[in-house]
Structure 1
Amino acid sequence: MPGARRRRYAMSMGFHREILALEDEDLERFVRDWIARKTSDYVEVQRFSGAGDLGRDIVGFLTDRRHEGPWHNYQCKQYGRTLATSSALLELGKILYHSDSGEFTPPTAYFFVAPRGMGRDLEKLVFNPSELRTALIDRWNAVCAKKIVTGQTIALEGSLLALVNAFDFGQVKRLTVDDILGDETAAPVLAKWFGADPGPAPRGIVPLDVDVREQLYLGQLIDAYGERAGSPFDDHVAVGDHPEFGEHLQDQRKRFFEADAFNRFYRDNTLEEDLEALHDDVYHGVSGHYRGNHGDTLGRIDAVMSQAAAVTPGGLLARHARVPVKQGFCHHFANDGKFVWKR
């Protein structure tokens, strides 16, 4: 097994153990963080816990009508073994009973989040929805009737039986620890919970033509070169042909796109606050030099670039923030209006 692949495998196995070791409430919180990032379909993700959860753990609402509209339920089950059929049938009975009682509409999808997986009999039922319905009906008295509401016996009849028969059991699915680790959107959550290192970002690629994203900082750079030269440049092509400034401009564009590639990669693979913390460290590390007195605009830019190279940020992403990346952040600050190179 190649080295990089072996490291990824070892890391995956480490997270496998970490997830299996989570306590019940921590598993729910972990799943809530994951589901909130997993899909943009949900307008809201909520965690319900305690005696009043009515069979809900993590809920993803698909519309702002919340429980009056379509919603998905994620039932988290952290056991020392695989999820048993009786436990799963009880949870399904509970959610359908409370739906029939008018607490909420029936969920349009139901996920058992069982990190250790399901027992073989239950797995067979989940993959055969009509058999799952039949099992719930046949075993209602044994596993549901006296366990849904304390002190009551809930008979499967009337509107409740009709709801069970109408419910789409094809939307009952399983999610195991392998499903979680195999989902790319889980990477930021693994980073938050277990300090997962997402690895290095790809290198930036500088296009031949000016990208629309470059226009703000690049326009200020062109003005800075004109200020130093004593006469304005028409555009970046004219600067590129200049014997003194051409190479300098190429360096700045490379730095911008190194930072751009870095930002894009870690926005997808870490939590937003990790990237924001790194930006914040670099900004405060160079802001004094940015505000200092300099002979001209290009002098300010060079001073900030030199200081950016020396900044030692902290946090999860610091080890991957190479010198050109930190310098490129400063041009992004100019794009965002935090910096104005020509003051």
Structure 2
Amino acid sequence: MSNLDLLHIEPISQPPSNTSNMLSNADRVLSNITPLQRLYNIDEDTYEELVCVWAYSCLGGKGYTEVYRVGQAGDKGRDVLAYYDRANGVFDLYQCKQYKSALTYSDLCGEMGKLLIYTFNNTYPIPQNYYILCPKDVSQSFVDLLNDDGKELKIRLKNDWETVVNKKVGANWIALDENLSTYIDKFNFNIVKKIEPIRFIDEIRQSPYYFYYFGGGFNMIKRSPLQVPHTPINIERNYIQNLNDAYSDHAGHVINVIDDEHNTDTGKYRNHLDRARISFYESEEVKIASRKSTAPDSDEFNDLATSIERYIGNELDDDYPDGFTKVKSIEKKAGTYNVPASMLISHLVDSNVCVGVCHQLSNENRIKWIVKD
């Protein structure tokens, strides 16, 4: 493995930065092309990249610990490797073919030759599964050759070894002697399987990567509802403390709405905090949707927050009799913000979300309702 330049795909915690292989934002919001047609049109490099992120993001349930994209000159017939146990060489192999028609024996005999040669020579172990992927699928005629442990496939490969397979394999081809012939006869071709294009699309549709490569229009960018916890959690600490400071400034004495929730004197503050928390979580929904749909280096929620921060800037600099009055004034101003229609997340943002963004900014201490001495 050390002699190969492998691209390690890290666990998905944030979507990747934009690459030349991903659709532009403008193309992502188009819905005038079907997913299958999009798959037909992508180039070979993009297809291999897509298969790699699919193998990691969608097939983690298979028990993979690492996924690598190898596909390059000298890859020895390995486009994508998905490891169960890399130390012990236990893996699945994914062979990607971006052809304009269904794959036939003629298209695949060279790949079968590489599989046989490199496992025969112990260049790499026999994979647990050898998956073939092509946007136009694999022909039934080739699938039929795999029946009965690949009996017919073995016959054809050996018959064609000296005249056809050698040209497909290239410089690393070896002559068919008795040992190799016996190895081919005993080889378990049940490991060779195809992945149907529709199955491939359906599975990657469940991952955060689908929108990057297939688009699908604005309807692909959705808010998933978040339940507001009855008791505030740690991620809310800063903005709630800033609101308590504002409430205390207004009341003339220290107020902690959470600790004093049964105190009737804090009722109006409690009602405000309840509304603020709902807005905070609604904006959090948009933040999550944005980060699933736009790359970190062009995260639209960050752009939205910065734009709203500028929009309310003059009001933030005004003088107020107390912090709570300032909060309400800023919330009112933020609620009038008009989201640019060019933003992919524009259809997710309403006045409540804009108010929630204020509390997001406060949570980052970019907004303070009162300035302490």
Q: Which amino acid aligns with 2:334?
A: Q
Is residue 75 of structure 2 the alignment partner of residue 45 of structure 1? no
| CA pair 123-14 structure 1, distance change in 2 beyond 3 A | same
Residue equivalent to 2:7: none
Q: Which amino acid aligns with 1:257?
A: Y
Give the secondary-structure state (helix, strand or coil) at the position aligned to 1:174.
strand
Equivalent pairs counted in the alignment come to 325
Aligned counterpart in structure 2 of residue 21 of structure 1, from 41, 48, 54:
41
Aligned counterpart in structure 1 of residue 359 of structure 2, from 328, 331, 334:
331
| CA pair 35-309 structure 1, distance change in 2 beyond 3 A | farther
Is residue 107 of structure 2 the alignment partner of residue 87 of structure 1? yes
Aligned counterpart in structure 1 of residue 183 of structure 2, from 162, 186, 189:
162
Residue equivalent to 1:56: 78
Residue equivalent to 1:147: 168
Residue equivalent to 1:321: 349
Counterparts of 1:239 and 1:265, CA distance in 2: 38
Is residue 219 of structure 2 the alignment partner of residue 196 of structure 1? no
Identify the range of structure 1 (285-294 vs 212-221) with the bigger mean alpha-carbon deviation. 285-294
Is residue 94 of structure 2 the alignment partner of residue 74 of structure 1? yes
Identify the range of structure 1 (140-149 vs 157-166) with the bigger mean alpha-carbon deviation. 157-166
CA positional deviation for 1:335: 4.1
Is residue 307 of structure 2 the alignment partner of residue 307 of structure 1? no
| CA pair 222-177 structure 1, distance change in 2 beyond 3 A | same
Residue equivalent to 2:296: 273
Counterparts of 1:152 and 1:188, CA distance in 2: 41
Q: Which amino acid aligns with 1:24?
A: E
Aligned counterpart in structure 2 of residue 233 of structure 1, from 255, 267, 270:
255
Aligned counterpart in structure 1 of residue 307 of structure 2, from 274, 280, 285:
285
Task: Report if the CA contact (8 A) 1:240-1:249 is conserved.
Answer: no
Residue equivalent to 2:13: none
Aligned counterpart in structure 2 of residue 123 of structure 1, from 143, 156, 173:
143
Residue equivalent to 1:252: 276
Identify the range of structure 1 (210-219 vs 333-342) with the bigger mean alpha-carbon deviation. 333-342
Aligned counterpart in structure 1 of residue 123 of structure 2, from 88, 99, 103:
103
| CA pair 152-252 structure 1, distance change in 2 beyond 3 A | closer
Counterparts of 2:117 and 2:367, CA distance in 1: 59
Counterparts of 1:312 and 1:327, CA distance in 2: 13
CA positional deviation for 1:54: 1.5
User: Structure 1 unaligned runs (5+)?
Assistant: 1-9
Q: Which amino acid aligns with 1:31?
A: V
Counterparts of 1:28 and 1:178, CA distance in 2: 17
Give the secondary-structure state (helix, strand or coil) at the position aligned to 2:169.
coil
| CA pair 254-176 structure 1, distance change in 2 beyond 3 A | same
CA positional deviation for 1:266: 5.5
Q: Which amino acid aligns with 1:273?
A: P
Task: Report if the CA contact (8 A) 1:285-1:311 is conserved.
Answer: no
Counterparts of 1:340 and 1:109, CA distance in 2: 57
Give the secondary-structure state (helix, strand or coil) at the position aligned to 1:144.
helix
| CA pair 195-171 structure 1, distance change in 2 beyond 3 A | same
Counterparts of 1:75 and 1:311, CA distance in 2: 48
Task: Report if the CA contact (8 A) 1:146-1:153 is conserved.
Answer: no
CA positional deviation for 1:101: 3.1
Residue equivalent to 2:55: 35
Aligned counterpart in structure 2 of residue 219 of structure 1, from 241, 254, 277:
241
Give the secondary-structure state (helix, strand or coil) at the position aligned to 1:74.
strand
TM-score, normalised to structure 2, is 0.71
Give the secondary-structure state (helix, strand or coil) at the position aligned to 2:45.
helix
Task: Report if the CA contact (8 A) 2:279-2:355 is conserved.
Answer: yes
Task: Report if the CA contact (8 A) 1:277-1:315 is conserved.
Answer: no
Give the secondary-structure state (helix, strand or coil) at the position aligned to 1:110.
strand
Residue equivalent to 2:24: none
Report the RMSD for the aligned CA atoms in angstroms: 3.6
User: Structure 2 unaligned runs (5+)?
Assistant: 1-29
Give the secondary-structure state (helix, strand or coil) at the position aligned to 1:173.
strand
Q: Which amino acid aligns with 1:139?
A: R
More helix by share: 1
CA positional deviation for 1:334: 4.2
| CA pair 86-204 structure 1, distance change in 2 beyond 3 A | same
| CA pair 342-100 structure 1, distance change in 2 beyond 3 A | farther
Q: Which amino acid aligns with 2:176?
A: A
Q: Per-residue CA shift, 1:80-129, capped at 9, x if unaligned?
A: 22121343343122133123334333333222111112212333455x4x
Q: Which amino acid aligns with 1:280?
A: N
Counterparts of 1:327 and 1:105, CA distance in 2: 58
